[in-house]
Amino acid sequence: MSRFGKRLFSICILMLLGVLFGMQLAGSSFNRGDNSAGNPAVVKTEPVSPATESVPAPVVQQEDKEPPVVPVMSPSQVLGAEQSKAPVDVLADKTAGLLQNLSHKGMKWVVSLFSGVAE
């Protein structure tokens, strides 16, 4: 293989790896700069004026409440739950469908070529 061919092959491999890495990052839950959305440790508070601190709060009688009932989901419901797909997954599904259709049509074409020879 010539020197130019080796360079071209290596550049194509590096570009393919870059595209695959980018697709992996796009499919993951990668947040850009929004730390408050996914970090439960961040607490936002409002400043309290000194006038409201001196007034005692009225005593409120607390009632014993039962915790809310959480519905239990079966494994089939959990696995079958509607999940939003990443755009990369949608593109991959469409590409897979296109390639599958092309392969079926290609096989039919090859069979039709050889069926004419067999007759």
CB 64 within 8 A of CB 5: no
Non-local (6+) Cβ contacts of 88 within 8 A are 23, 26, 27
- Under the banding of pLDDT at 50, 70 and 90, the label for residue 13 is very high
* Its pTM surpasses 0.75: no
| Tens of pLDDT, residues 54-97 | 556 666 666 777 777 777 777 767 666 556 777 888 888 889 98
pLDDT at 80: 63
| Tens of pLDDT, residues 24-50 | 877 776 555 555 555 555 556 666 555
Distance CA 18, CA 80 (A): 33
